[in-house]
Structure 1
Amino acid sequence: MDYALLMAAFAKNGAQPGWSGQRLLHECLRQAIREGTLAAGTRLLASRVLARELGVARNSVLYAYGQLATEGFVSPDRRGTKVSFKPALALLPEPPLTLRTGLSIRAQSLASLPVAPELSAAFAPGVPALAEFPLTLWRRLLERSWRGLSAAQLNYGEAAGEPTLRSAIADHLRAARGVVCDAGQVFITDGTQSSLDLCARAFADTGDRVWMENPGYGGALAAWRAAQLSVVGIQVDGGGMAPTAADWRRQPPKLIYLTPSHQYPTGAVLGLERRLALIRQATAAGALIIEDDYDSEFRHDGPPLAALQGLTPDAPVVYLGTFSKTLFPALRIGFVVAPATLAPALAALLSRSLPRGRAADQLALAEFLRNGHFSLHLRRMRRLYRQRRDALVEALESRLSDVASVHGASAGMHLALRFHDELRLDDARISSLALQQGIVAPALSQHSVGGRAHGWRGLMLGYAQVPVEQMGELVMRLEALIRV
């Protein structure tokens, strides 16, 4: 707090003529406390220090502090004087019209998108079992990383990310997902949303057409809209994105975004035949596929399918991944794997626009990967999530099989409960009622893309963070809302 600046502003705008220096200081501090400029808990400067800073007698400061204490605004203790008054919250005035309409057209176009609900409650999609994360081990790795940092590493790091982490991710992806890459193609981001924004800036121009699954992921839709791309929703059926010949002929895309391992929100898995067909057709159209490998680490039934990126030589695929779902969301580390032909240009773009930091976090994650902790954690979570998936499916089928069916339960951390009678059951209303009871169950109908209707009506149910013993009671509460 710059007290001299505070005093100068008050003397100009709030002081009355003829006030003494003592009263001027007292009134200035009282107004700052009442308005919250000096918040409750703030420790005021020592009287000698403040007197020297303001160029006034110390007695003037002692008088002001004494008056404030008498009025209950501050309380003295052995360490000095602390603000004790907490102003009541006042309603903010309605902003002037010029401020309400001051957002860009791009930003205003995002206003219609749904706001993410509270992410800690059942059945919020995409939330891992945070209580099962090996936090003690992670603290130890972080402490080791900080101890090993040099002074130079406190500066901005390489825009592409720490080389050690990029190398560890490349090794993991080659072994676990069949991705064909080296460390030079891996670029560290702040998570999937950051990766999507990067792809929108780097690989498309204003007005370019991007295909998305319909229904699809709202975060991707926000990224494309913010970049002023033309979004086309492509039908999703039980086998994932299903573009028609007419789609390719009438609306050929520049970008194709999809979540093939566990489609968001329906949970469909894109089969091998469709994957290969999509690569062939995208290559022929000169389109670039953005493969968001969402939930790929958790395959509960049957063998996992390799990533699109590695299915054919030189596939036109940008691969996105994140550690928010496998480890914890607050880590905020994701990555982009660019095709070898695009990696140099992307590296040059990042070096000019995106300095990177958080070296300690990245180095700790690299060690977590290299030393086998990541693989061990995934194995534990696969077992746990399978148990929780089984409990949820059993409860749903025993109580709601006559009104809804389960989709997308073979993989991932969420499933879709699709209503049989899409006209009678309003999934948006049921989702809203559930939220009032502390249950997050997003409506499938709210994930439409590109202005195209789709036939999915029901609820998304994330189960990774919900203990087995709670599944039955939560499903009973959902059943009561659905059968009203």
Structure 2
Amino acid sequence: MFKHSQLDSVKAWLAHPAHAAMPLHARIQRAIRQLILDGALGPGKPLPASRPLAASLGVSRDTIEAAYAQLHAEGFIERRVGSGSFVTDMTGFAPGHRRPRREAPLRDQAPRLSQRGAAMFHSGGVREMLVPRPFAPGVPDTRSFPLPLWERLERQVLKEVGTLALQHGDPQGAEPLRRAIADYVNLERGARATADRVLVLTSSQQAMMLCATVLLDPGERIFIEDPAYYGARRAFDAAGLESLPIRVDRQGVTVEPILSDPQRARAVFLTPSHQFPTGVTLALDRRLALIEWAARHQAWIIEDDYDSEFHYAGKPTACVQGLDPHDRTLYIGTFTKSLFPGLRIGYVVLPPPLVKPMTVARSLLDGHTASVAQLTLARFMEGGHFGAHVRAMRSVYAQRLEILTGLVRRHLSDFVAPRVPVGGLQMPCVLTCAMPEHLAIDAARRVGVELLGLSGLHAAGDGEAGFLMGFAAYTPAEMEVAVRKLASALQTVKVP
């Protein structure tokens, strides 16, 4: 018979809420198996007969027999006719040899990661709020998305394509979607794209990780805007690259440090249409200078065009990729901002020599993007629905930006000055008082308001103090309530 402690251990397994979904016999089997693995039941030890154990646990004898049968099938016990059940003498634990001391489980100790794995872990990753609250930046208004239309198009796709949509997809992306993306970026962004140069991905973040790992080796250098999108910086750091911050002014990234640099970085990362987080546009002469620099040094330009659809003053400037006759620019786009984050579709327009290497590398990461979503999006774009949705949301977002600007000036003028952008989904606000940035953000979070600090987006973390306020996903009423809460919270902050 089991000792009292062993019987209590089995009973604890039966009663634990985490195991409630398991059948009784499986809980008993797992509990006994753990006793064996822990060494509490050594090789050759007899197990209780099924009838008395069933009585002790208050279960049927059939339940115990089912547990023992599974233990026997897995090799943990031997069943001898007329003698009973015994713990197997497992390989490596012969009679007379002591079982080695059981190491602490992995959950209780720090795992040994690779250098890249440690860098990825310590970066903190890129986390998005599952249910965004004002004023989380970079979030589109999903409540206005034409979901019934999307559902109708998806049904059409499934009806026409059938079970083929359930199979593996092309790692480069569904051809109809690649064609629709190429047509769109050529018309709206002045790109030079064809369907065979488009690689469909799950996100722009995946595109940046691919660029970092396929184009550059650990230790090589990449120029990056300062301040910059934290997801890009973390992707490059995790890949072991040396990120060289380049100051951004009112005309975008300054090019003189890049052109005069003697060590010649292998690439430059840009958000030229709408710099993150300042919102400035890269001047044409600087674009042309960087294109010639890349051609001269056989370097790459990684262009992240994350939200250029939403430009509120005139037409957005043509993308760098469309100006580059040397094919040194990789153009990254996403539907996360223009449609909805749950779609999980982004893309990159590649120089022809990079299409096959990038596609193969992508196949090692996640194989391919979901076919049904791709084909539905292609139909959404071909039918003109994408353009119509973007135009409608551009008008809504422009109005919300104007409303937020007024609310900030009315209720937060003692604390911040807004820097009204010409586009995008968020507005930078610079602290004009002596309040430390982290205290302002902590006070906001305590009243349910989410802000992204500006200083941490600078390479040294010592940039201008302030925060980003997203406005696209929130109604005027929601923004007014949140601004009033924020004003009250900031008034209570005690500045050291």
Query: For the residues of structure 1 that align with 2:58 and 2:315, how far apart are their CA atoms?
Result: 68
Query: For the residues of structure 2 that align with 1:435 and 1:95, how far apart are their CA atoms?
Result: 36
Query: For the residues of structure 2 that align with 1:414 and 1:241, how far apart are their CA atoms?
Result: 20
For the pair 1:443 / 2:453, whether they are aligned, the reply is yes
Correspondence 1:1-400 to 2 at 5 A: 8-14=29-35, 19-21=48-50, 24=53, 99-110=109-120, 111-113=122-124, 116=127, 118=129, 120-245=132-257, 248-350=260-362, 354-400=366-412
Query: For the residues of structure 2 that align with 1:263 and 1:27, how far apart are their CA atoms?
Result: 70
Deviating more after overlay: 270-279 vs 212-221: 270-279
Partner SS state of residue 143, structure 2: helix
Shift of the 143–248 alpha-carbon distance from structure 1 to 2, 3 Å rule, reads farther
User: Which residue of 2 is the match for residue 465 of structure 1?
Assistant: 473
Cα contact 2:201–2:369 (8 A) shared by 1: no
User: Which residue of 1 is the match for residue 86 of structure 2?
Assistant: none
RMSD of aligned alpha carbons = 3.2
Query: May I ask how many residue pairs the two structures share in their alignment?
Result: 428
Match for 1:99: what amino acid? Q
Which of these two proteins has the greater Rg computed from alpha carbons? 2
User: Which residue of 1 is the match for residue 100 of structure 2?
Assistant: none
Match for 1:278: what amino acid? L
Query: For the residues of structure 2 that align with 1:253 and 1:200, how far apart are their CA atoms?
Result: 13
After superposition, give the CA deviation of every residue in 1:293-349 in whole Å (9 maximum; x if it has no partner). 021000011221111110232342100011111111011110011012322433344
Match for 1:222: what amino acid? R
Identity %: 33
Identify which of 433, 437, 443 aligns with 1:433: 443
Match for 1:102: what amino acid? R
Query: For the residues of structure 2 that align with 1:186 and 1:291, how far apart are their CA atoms?
Result: 14
Cα contact 1:162–1:363 (8 A) shared by 2: yes
Deviating more after overlay: 262-271 vs 456-465: 262-271
Query: For the residues of structure 2 that align with 1:202 and 1:28, how far apart are their CA atoms?
Result: 59
Shift of the 418–399 alpha-carbon distance from structure 1 to 2, 3 Å rule, reads same
Gaps of 5+ in 1: 31-46, 57-93
Query: For the residues of structure 1 that align with 2:52 and 2:456, how far apart are their CA atoms?
Result: 60
Cα contact 1:239–1:268 (8 A) shared by 2: yes
Query: For the residues of structure 2 that align with 1:221 and 1:463, how far apart are their CA atoms?
Result: 24
Query: For the residues of structure 2 that align with 1:337 and 1:329, how far apart are their CA atoms?
Result: 20
Cα contact 2:123–2:238 (8 A) shared by 1: no
Cα contact 2:125–2:231 (8 A) shared by 1: no
Gaps of 5+ in 2: 1-21, 36-40, 71-103
Partner SS state of residue 368, structure 2: coil
Cα contact 2:246–2:257 (8 A) shared by 1: no
The TM-score with structure 2 as length reference comes to 0.78
Cα contact 1:316–1:339 (8 A) shared by 2: yes
Deviation at 1:427, TM superposition (A): 1.3
Deviation at 1:355, TM superposition (A): 2.1
Cα contact 2:223–2:243 (8 A) shared by 1: yes
Deviating more after overlay: 98-107 vs 296-305: 98-107
Cα contact 1:416–1:460 (8 A) shared by 2: yes
Deviating more after overlay: 47-56 vs 175-184: 47-56
Query: For the residues of structure 1 that align with 2:384 and 2:58, how far apart are their CA atoms?
Result: 57
Deviation at 1:482, TM superposition (A): 4.0
The TM-score with structure 1 as length reference comes to 0.79
Match for 2:314: what amino acid? G
Shift of the 144–228 alpha-carbon distance from structure 1 to 2, 3 Å rule, reads same
After superposition, give the CA deviation of every residue in 1:369-427 in whole Å (9 maximum; x if it has no partner). 00011011001100100010000111222344465332252101111001245xx2311
Cα contact 1:214–1:447 (8 A) shared by 2: yes
Partner SS state of residue 132, structure 1: coil
